[in-house]
Amino acid sequence: MHRARVSILYVVLCCSAAAVTRSVWDGVYTKEQAGRGLATYGEECQKCHGEKLGGGEGGPPMVGDEFLSKWNGKTAGDLFTLTRKSMPMDDPGTLSSKEYADLVAYILSVNDFPAGQKELDRDVTALNEIRIEAKR
Amino acid sequence: MKTPTLALCILAVALGAPAQQGAKDGEWRFYGGDAGSTKYSPLDQINASNVKDLKIAWEWKAQNFGRRPDINWEVTPLEVGGVLYLTVGTRRDVVAVDAVTGETLWMYRLDEGPRGAVVARTVNRGLAYWSDGKGDNRIILITPGFQLVALNAKSGLPIAGFGKDGIIDLFLGLDRDVVKPGTIGSSSPAIVIRDTVVVGAALLAGTAPPSKTNVPGYIRGFDVRTGQKLWTFRTIPQEGEFGVDTWENDSWKYTGNTGAWVPLSGDEELGYVYIPVEAPTGDFYGGTRPGNNLFSDSLVCLDARTGKRIWYYQLVHHDIWDWDVAAPPILLDVTVNGRKIKAVAQVTKQAFTFVFDRVTGQPVWPIVERPVPQSTVPGEKTAATQPFPTKPLPFDRQGTSIDDLIDFTPALREEAIKIASKYKLGPLYTPPIMADDDGKIGLLLLPHHTGGGNWPGGAADPETGMLYVASLTNQDSLAMAVADPKRSDMGIVGGGARGRPTGPPEDTPRPAAKTNIGPQGLPLIKPPWGRITAIDLNTGDNAWVAANGEAPDYIKNHPAMKGIDLSNTGKPSRSLLMVTKTLLFAPEGNNLWTPAPGAGGNLLRILDKKTGKLIHQIELPAMATGIPMTYMVNDRQFVVLAIGAIGVPAELVALALP
């Protein structure tokens, strides 16, 4: 029994380690997707979070060291889930999953993470595989 | 009986009745009740003896206007001839509603395309009305995409002879080659004085602007009949104009903002409009605009027909606190030391009431320039002095000291002192600091730039000269940071509310307890956290001060507050005030961002205006978001206000006696 438990624990740890396989430095969104995110940001988010995510009266900045230090070590899935759960503040959860994914892509782009060939997924499980790392 | 009444009327005319009398004839023709923004109506069918019998007469649902339900609807409808006129939804559609039944009569919606998709301000407060008295009755709208529209009040159709097919492009004439959609708009209505539509402007918040270059929020006047532009008042003077020397290093060439985003006021008899001007670009950093920056943060009086400046008074020099002049100026006639004065009272975010003779601009009580602390932020050049009114007293706490910290229990007090030691404290006008300067997280700003007075401003009784002000006592950290040159050419920008104990919201959107920096999520500063102050403008003295209600639930239910009397702490929100013959309507109200249901308080509190004592309170379906208004149709008085909350789409509620 004892040996079996160790094996199960080993498998779980391996799976967990394997779950987060990429980081935001690996080109996890496309420029086009970030462009769509910018449009949605302008309509839904800018009034509180300010131009280019710089922060405003109603919302904190979502760019720069302070923002990244809060999110360092978390996943794109965490960012997607929180955004969907809590935003827009006046009517949370009312955008489509695609729009929330586009917004996360835009946030990554403004924070200077590189674009790639494949769009950021709208599936949370897939997004949980992408780690946010403040520095490469 | 008839003859004496007539004689009294003639006598009143002969003596010269005061110009500002609140809303007339049982109507509500201006956003603020009358052109002077008194929010006063002499109606008295609803009074202390029967207010307990008030019932909801009808509700008008706004749910399906705009892409998503609006829940922070700051509108106050107009009422003319039995019809309410209002803006609704994030697209700012216009509707006419039967004032007795709540039936929708017509709706106007302008599809602005991409211009309306990204806008500076989605919030809307209402409309302006104009009539030639001969049947030409017009509704004036400023759209989210910053277009001025004149509608036929009867049909809701655009007036063909106004501008181009009823519409004027307000992007034009702002001294910029290109005005990008979403940079400038307006959240408040225009005002019509002397057949002139006067338009202000609102821009994006400037906590961390991407550039020192922005669009200026000029004030403009248009002929209400034709839409022809009559004048532009440059709130940032250009070359050769008065005040340009207050923008050193040619900063007048590129600096923007300096609009007037709250409702304007006016005096039809004098032919003047009163403009409360906001801060310039860079809410918290002025290193890019050295100088006093006229006409930012000023109360400016203009001739409505020509735009000529009659007088001005700058209320904050070189603003680096975002202390815009952010409330409609209130016009009323008072008698001070036996002298009759046509006055204008301006309440501010930093909790002052500046009172002037509105004809001459002379202060009613002396305003003195006092030396203030100087900035240590690189490149910042603080004004050496700031204006302090000697009367009335400030209506809320100003600046922060250890004495201001909560002391409900010795343990909480100790904890509060420990927290406060991490911040820079100081008197009013202590400048923001760089983050971590001298080991401090930031400046503890009080009143906060979202505190003190704000767009709900106050209300006034022109018959007694009493001013009622609602204010919010909140505290937050303000710290500056070096701007990433890739993202901003400002050099230094506001770093937001650093030092909050929590990160991004997790449970509910913007939970109040998580925005407090005080012990265990409690406010750091002593109550009241929201109050109403009655000021007699004949003497400049306070008549009474009252908390705006009980503590919010998250404080009442806090384990550390067990057994402590919290019945008179007020809520950290601003009551939305309206005055009638005997009553002060003071719904628990707007804190700029609507909280979750229940957190902001759903009570419509009705006070005795003489004493501030609560007469009656009514639980509304959600929190009040707009200032109430009242009118009389078919001998029945109604009180109407907008409500909403997260999860409760906005609606209008009409109250009346059965």
Give the model confidence (pLDDT) of B376-406 as tens digits.
Answer: 999 999 999 999 999 999 999 999 999 999 9
CA distance B189 to chain A (A): 19
Please list the ranges in chain B whose pLDDT falls under 70.
1-20, 496-515, 590-600
Task: Kindly indicate the confidence band of residue A7, based on its pLDDT and cuts at 50, 70 and 90.
Answer: very low
Q: What pLDDT shows up at residue A73?
A: 93
Indicate which of A63, A91, A95, A103 best probes the interface with B, i.e. most B CBs within 10 Å of its own CB. A91
Q: What pLDDT shows up at residue B381?
A: 97
Q: What pLDDT shows up at residue B521?
A: 86
Question: Would the CB atoms of B504 and A70 count as touching at under 8 Å?
Answer: yes
Q: What pLDDT shows up at residue B468?
A: 98
Positive or negative, the CA dihedral B645, B647, B649, B655 is negative
Q: Would you say B657 and B50 are in contact if contact means Cβ atoms under 8 Å apart?
A: yes
The values of phi and psi at residue B201, to 5°, are -160, 150
User: What secondary structure letter does DSSP report for B381?
Assistant: -
The CATH topology of domain A22-131 is Cytochrome Bc1 Complex; Chain D, domain 2 (1.10.760)
Q: Could you tell me which chain B residue has the CA closest to the CA of A48?
A: B205
Question: Would the CB atoms of B210 and A43 count as touching at under 8 Å?
Answer: no
Q: Does A43 touch chain B (CB under 8 A)?
A: yes
**Residue B528, preceding peptide bond in cis (omega within 30° of 0):** yes
- Residue B543 token pair: 């008549």
Q: How far apart (Å, rounded) are the C-alpha atoms in residues B529 and B551? A: 8
Closest CA to B636 of B78, B102, B104, B100: B100
CB contacts of A46 in chain B (<8 Å) are: 118, 182, 204
Question: Would the CB atoms of A90 and B70 count as touching at under 8 Å?
Answer: yes
Q: Does A74 touch chain B (CB under 8 A)?
A: no
Q: What pLDDT shows up at residue B634?
A: 97
Q: What pLDDT shows up at residue B10?
A: 41
Closest CA to B204 of B279, B142, B148: B279
- From the list A56, A70, A90, the residue facing B207 with the nearest CB is A56
Kind and range of the H or E run holding B555: helix B553-556
**Residue B519, preceding peptide bond in cis (omega within 30° of 0):** no
Q: How far apart (Å, rounded) are the C-alpha atoms in residues A116 and A22? A: 13
pTM above 0.95, yes or no: no
DSSP string, B171-218: TTTSS-S---TTSEE-SS--EEETTEEEE-BEE---SS-S-S---B--
CA distance A59 to chain B (A): 8
CA distance A73 to chain B (A): 14
Closest CA to B350 of B251, B256, B449: B449
The values of phi and psi at residue B30, to 5°, are -125, 155
Q: What pLDDT shows up at residue A13?
A: 43
- From the list A55, A90, A94, the residue facing B594 with the nearest CB is A90
Indicate which of A48, A53, A57, A63 best probes the interface with B, i.e. most B CBs within 10 Å of its own CB. A57
Q: Could you tell me which chain B residue has the CA closest to the CA of A95?
A: B68
More confident residue, B360 or A91: B360
Q: How far apart (Å, rounded) are the C-alpha atoms in residues B633 and B498? A: 52
- Residue B147 token pair: 């277009």
Q: Could you tell me which chain A residue has the CA closest to the CA of B435?
A: A66
Q: How far apart (Å, rounded) are the C-alpha atoms in residues B88 and B123? A: 9
Q: How far apart (Å, rounded) are the C-alpha atoms in residues B144 and B119? A: 6
Q: What pLDDT shows up at residue A6?
A: 45
What is the residue extent of each domain of chain B? 35-656
Task: Kindly indicate the confidence band of residue A30, based on its pLDDT and cuts at 50, 70 and 90.
Answer: very high
Q: How far apart (Å, rounded) are the C-alpha atoms in residues A113 and A129? A: 16
User: What secondary structure letter does DSSP report for B248?
Assistant: G
Q: Would you say B123 and B72 are in contact if contact means Cβ atoms under 8 Å apart?
A: yes
Q: What pLDDT shows up at residue B327?
A: 97
Closest CA to A53 of A95, A98, A105, A93: A105
User: What secondary structure letter does DSSP report for B400?
Assistant: B
Give the model confidence (pLDDT) of A112-121 as tens digits.
Answer: 999 999 999 9
pLDDT for residue A1 is more than 60: no
Q: What is the CATH code for B35-656?
A: 2.140.10.10
Q: What pLDDT shows up at residue B592?
A: 56
Percentage above 70 pLDDT, chain A: 84
3-class secondary structure, A52:
helix
Give the CA count within 13 Å in the CB-facing half-sphere of B456. 32
- Residue A8 token pair: 């199960």
Q: If DSSP states are collapsed to H, E and C, what string results for B283-301?
A: CCCCCCCCCCCCCCCEEEE
